[in-house]
Amino acid sequence: MKLQGLDGKVYDLAELRGSVVLVSFGATWCGPCSTELRALEELLAEYRDKPVKFFWVSIERPEEINNARLRQYAKERGLTFPVLRDTGKMVFFQFADRVRLPMLLLLNKSGRIDAQATFGMKSRPEDYKAEVRARLNKLLTVASTDAEKHQAARTRDLVATSQRVNQ
């Protein structure tokens, strides 16, 4: 899942191991996308000190909106997380059979998709934030447990190796 950011960087979202990654796909013409972005920006403030990364991906073609106008759109909405482009919808259509926006994906700390993509805002912003918050918290907890198990296994292996060497 490599995408170009408005900042000129190429982001490989699956390579952000160690962090839970939230990716919202949308478009500037999508009303529910603007509502979702406000909700996500509010959620981001809650997760600033946690291993969670947020991204917004515009699926619009360059002839629909250029980078300057997309930057303006992000600035007007006070977005503080990276804005990426999927102008050919190549990444988008890996998770959807048709355009339904917004589309939300969550990747666990191993860089794997957590569950099927969710589409649209089917609830009020406060309820939507509660749903996303629950999913993020679950991934943070599960991911931490997996990381702890991995670390414990590595520690056991190191201790066993050390004991064999010292015999």
pLDDT tens figures, 100-135: 999 999 999 999 999 889 998 888 999 999 999 999
Check pLDDT > 50 for residue 30. yes
Residue 73 has a CB neighbour count (10 Å cut-off) of: 19
Pick the residue with more confidence: 147 or 3? Answer: 3
40-99 per-position pLDDT tens digit: 999 999 999 999 999 999 999 999 999 999 999 999 999 999 999 999 999 999 999 999
Alpha carbon distance, N-terminus to C-terminus of the chain:
48
pLDDT of res. 156:
52
Q: Residue 123: which residues within 8 A CB-CB, separation 6 or more? A: 131
* pLDDT value at residue 63: 96
Whole-number pLDDT of residue 163 = 45
Q: What is the pLDDT of residue 39?
A: 96
Mean pLDDT taken over the chain: 88
Q: What domains are defined for the chain?
A: 2-166 (3.40.30.10)
Q: pLDDT per residue over 126-150, tens digit each?
A: 999 999 999 999 999 984 444 444 4
Would the pLDDT of 158 be above 80?
A: no
Section 144-159 average pLDDT: 47
- Residues 6+ positions from 99 with CB-CB distance below 8 Å: 59, 89, 92
Q: Which two tokens stand for residue 143?
A: 């991911």
Amino acid at site 52: V
